[in-house]
Amino acid sequence: MILREQRDRVAERVRLLGQEFTEDLFVFSMARTPSHQEPYSPNAVTQRYKDMADRLGIDTHLHALRHYSATELLTAGVDLRTVAGRLGHGGGGATTLRVYAAWVAATDRKAAEILGSRMPKRRPK
Q: For 26-39, what is each residue's pLDDT tens digit?
A: 666 665 566 666 66
Round to whole Å and give the CA distance between 122 and 116.
12
Alpha helices (H) in the chain, listed in sequence order: 2-16, 42-56, 64-75, 80-87, 94-95, 105-118
Q: How many residues does the chain have?
A: 125
CA dihedral 94, 95, 98, 100 (to 10 degrees): -130
CA dihedral 14, 49, 78, 95 (to 10 degrees): 120
Q: pLDDT digit string (tens) for 70-125?
A: 999 999 999 999 999 999 898 888 899 889 888 888 888 988 998 888 888 888 87
Round to whole Å and give the CA distance between 6 and 27.
7
At residue 100, what is the residue type? Y
**Cβ atoms 85, 50 nearer than 8 A:** no
The pTM of the full predicted model, rounded to 2 decimals, is 0.60
